[in-house]
Every structure is written in structure tokens, then in C-alpha cells.
Structure 1
């Protein structure tokens, strides 16, 4: 596999990890039911309701993709380390968000009925695991960048060079300067007026034959 292709596949890996985390953040992670309350109620809680850390780190991971292509060498390796930290943070924040204390705090902010029930029933689905998976995938992409990124090519340098005229290079594709028109191409009336003035119309402007 060429270094350029390896860089592209790693970027796709990072994008997939961030995308999974962002997708999961908008889905319902926990459904809480307060059956012992005066009025039995149920409340669905999304990943963003439980905390915006995971989605914020996923957006930071997407922003790191631009730096992955724009940098090179050790700077790119440092970017890879940051992306790996973002992925690890997503996985940790997602697992922490579904803890009972965190869920109770989130639903209490939505309805006071849940704060009156000390033991509400909680149904946790698998969307939080999707977010954890996204964090792991993003972290893997960051680690690959940390280890292998210094070998990958940077952005194309052809746009960093000046134009041939500005850099002093000869232009091979420049259009040739048109030659002086041949006497046969000159209007006969012009030739006649030149004869009247005593001029030789076959001579060039600089006096050379």
C-alpha cells in the first residue's frame, strides 16, 4: 500500500469514527419510567441530553482531519496523538453518560416528577455502544497517524511555487512574438505613399534589410 493511500484510508477511518459518535448522540440512549409517581410517566433521553462531551469531541475529531492533510512530519504525528485522545474521550464520556446517577440528573432537569421517585426504571439501549465504537475507531485512526503519519506525503507543493515569470524560469509555452508583416502583405496604397515620400517599404523599422 502506498503512503498516500494509507493516509486516505486512515482519514476515512477517523471520519467514520466521528460520524458514528455524532449519529449516536442524537438518538435515545435511555428510557426512564417513573411508575411510582403520582402520574406514571416515561422520558426518553438522548446522548446529547446526557452530556455534550462526546459530540463535541467528535466534532473536534472531524476538524483534526483537515490538519491531518495540511501538516507533515512530527506535526502530523502530534495531530494523530490529539485525534487518539479525542477518540478515547468519546468512549469514556459515552460509558459515563449511561450511569444511573448521570441519567437521574438528566431526567430530573426535564421533569420534577422523576426527582420525587428515588428508584425510576431505566431501559438502556445500545446507542451508547455505537458512540463508544465510534470513539474507539477514531482513536485507532489517531494512533495510526501517530505511528505512520510522518512517512505520508504532504500537500502538493506545485501551488507553493511562483509563476514561471515570477520565479525567473523561461516560459516554454509562451506564444512567439509575431514577425513584421512581409511587404507582400502590406496594403498597396501604403506602398505607394511610401514611394512618394522616398522611403523604401521593404526595409524593417529598425533600418535592417
Structure 2
């Protein structure tokens, strides 16, 4: 994922699905577990990279609570995705707890060209408004996802997940630039040494 000896600064967004990117906020580097979230500010920065921003009035956000709840949602998502990938039954109760706190209502707005658009206005507390889209993404994956296309990187040192949206559905790596090239270079070195 990075050059030898350097710590990745932020979680890679290579999952091609928000739920996959959520799982990828924990990774492995040089055989060691890496958690990209050490504080509520880390979670907020990651959410902003994903297009999820705190609602107005979010200045009073409980950042330690955000970190704890986001990490718990990530653990839950990893378990549910893993169970679904292995065709095991899932229990939706814990995910529903996140979904039920994420309240929104239809809202008619006007776009930049003056046309009416229907949007959703979030009516939840700041924590639920941030974690709700993540929970909804996990739920949508569990319901609509083709789990033959939910994959983990094939590089032996990588644990990142992705949703294979390639035309032939033959994607093997979290990123060709990261793991694909590393693997191919290692294979070339093996062949050259013979």
C-alpha cells in the first residue's frame, strides 16, 4: 500500500463502494494492522473525503463518541459483509439500530439551473446524520450487491476490499498501482532469479 517504512496517511478509497471503503479504514501494512482512525477528527476527515459532511450545528459533535460509533459500525459491517459473502444468514438488528436513528424527509430544492429537484433533508442528530449514510450503504450492499463481485485484494499482504465493477469482473487487486504492480514485480524477480 505504501513504500517500505512509511505509514499511510489516510485510508485508500479503492473499494468502488462506500461500504467497501468503510471496511478499508483498517488495513495491513508490512504484516501489521493499520487503523486509519485514531480520533473523531480522523473519522470526520475520512467522511469528508467520501462526501459526507456534518450538518449545520455539528460543531458540538461528540468526537470521541463518533470514533467509537464509527469503529463499531465498521466492525459490524465487516461481520455482515463476511457472513453474506459466505452465504451465511445475517442478523440485521444491530445495523437497523443505526438505520433507525438516521431520519430524513423529502425536500424540494432548486438546482443551479433553476430546476426543481427532490432531495432528502436529514433530520437526525449530528452523529446519526454522519453514520446513517454509512449504515445505509452497508444495507444497500447487503440487499442489492452481487457478492460474487465483493472481493478482497489477492495480494498476500493486503486485506483491502473492493466491489468489482470491471466489465469482465476479473479485478484482482485493490489497486493496480498499489498491490498489482508489487505482486507482478515480485513475480518478475522470482522468474529472473531462476
TM-score of the aligned structures, taking structure 1 as reference length:
0.29
More strand by share: 2
More helix by share: 1
Which is higher, the Rg of structure 1 or of structure 2?
Answer: 1
TM-score of the aligned structures, taking structure 2 as reference length:
0.31
